[in-house]
Amino acid sequence: MVNIAVLGYGTVGSGVVEVIRTNGKQINRRIGNELNIKYVLDLRDFPGDPVSDILVHDYTKIIDDPEVDIVVEVMGGIEPAYTFVKTALERGKCVVTSNKELVAKHGAEFLSMAKIRNINFLFEASVGGGIPIIRPINSSLTADIIEEITGILNGTTNYILSKMYFDGADYDEVLRDAQAKGYAERHPEADVEGFDACRKIAILSSLISGQQVDYEDIYTEGITEITSRDISYARKLGMQIKLLASSKRNDDSLSAIVAPFLLKQDHPLYGVNDVYNAIFVRGKFLGDAMFYGQGAGKYPTASAVVADVVDAAKHLHRNIMTMWEERKLNLVDSGSVCRRFFVRLEGNGQEQLADIKRCFGSVDFVDAGFQDELAFITPVMTEDTYREKAADMSGILHMIRVEEPR
């Protein structure tokens, strides 16, 4: 028998319990052993719930029990999750988690601890929810060099941008709709400001580089400044605006960014709408591949967590090698990255045209029928060059980066 303890009985934790109990026979066949949920840890009581007879409030009861083989952490946040996970690994217990914040900050440390003890720290659900991406990088793609990972990694922002695009609604209106439907939190800053996607691309960047990528080093911009006018211009261009989290190889390092981008119709992520997520991978020999599905939610995330539990149970006392050292990778300076920029400028007269020509030279103008502003796409230039030119020009209303084929 393989005994597990589930830390946290919220949305994901209750999903994990339900998946295991519903699919128990199939899971046991795949493990070759019986999987048993021995404890569920939560501060709350759940009278009448099937877990009430295995519910505990004290973590030491789990950590002191030598029969617990796998600890499943689905509480979220850094503390007490960090302390609980570290203690479990120190005691020789495998750990499975969906906690992206914890993995981004301490993943390398936990992997090192697991390797020394010949156990496992697994975190498939921390990036794509139900979309498998960690395991493919760690196993299926190990013979290749990953040149790029670019993803729509947050369902809340993708839902908002999709509704704005297809329904013509304003940002504030769609955000309220998303909150009413449970797609956005009451305090949605982690999603709409790009922080959630930033932690996820930091994890993926660490995995493809084999070194620690700190999410604090990744330039991050959210979607709160996207307006219905931006959407109108995107339609005119035959493009869509998506919040991308992207990491691209640059010699021995990576350039990484989280920001809204204009995508052309031939981009693989162009048609990913609603709450769906997708991750585009480009390998040196593989070429292009896509991973698509529900990036969040109770059952998709729980399914990925349980898949890791099965993997851990099949590899008890045998470490699954993951290349992610604690040595920090210094990212390429974001200011040196070249791209084109879509710019909206207040005014529509000869003075503005002269300023555009003086600062940016030859540009591609975009006419969406607005009489009080001009819009254009710049030539290719570095981020630093754009900032210098934009600082020399008054009246810029908004800028959105343009994702070009590489």
pLDDT per residue over 161-181, tens digit each?
Answer: 999 999 999 999 999 999 998
Told to judge if 181 belongs to the known catalytic residues of this protein, a careful annotator would answer: no
Which residue ranges does the chain devote to CATH 3.30.70.260?
335-402
Binned at pLDDT 50, 70 and 90, residue 73 comes out as very high
pLDDT per residue over 114-157, tens digit each?
Answer: 999 999 999 999 998 889 999 999 888 887 899 999 999 999 99
Percentage of residues of the chain with pLDDT beyond 70: 100
User: Among residues 200, 242, 248, 389, which one is catalytic?
Assistant: 200
pLDDT of residue 251: 86
pLDDT per residue over 305-344, tens digit each?
Answer: 999 999 999 999 999 989 999 999 999 999 999 999 999 9
Q: Round the average pLDDT of the chain to a whole number and report it.
A: 95
Q: What are phi and psi of 231, to 5 degrees?
A: -65, -40
Binned at pLDDT 50, 70 and 90, residue 405 comes out as low
pLDDT of residue 181: 85
Binned at pLDDT 50, 70 and 90, residue 190 comes out as very high
Which residue ranges does the chain devote to CATH 3.40.50.720?
2-129+298-314
406 pLDDT higher than 70:
no
pLDDT of residue 402: 98
63 pLDDT higher than 80:
yes
| Mean pLDDT to the nearest integer, 210-232 | 97
CATH topology of domain 335-402: Alpha-Beta Plaits (3.30.70)
pLDDT greater at residue 142 or residue 230: 230
138-294 maps to which CATH number? 3.30.360.10
Which residue ranges does the chain devote to CATH 3.30.360.10?
138-294
pLDDT of residue 141: 83
Options 3.40.640.10, 3.40.50.1100, 3.50.50.60, 3.40.50.720; CATH for 2-129+298-314 is 3.40.50.720
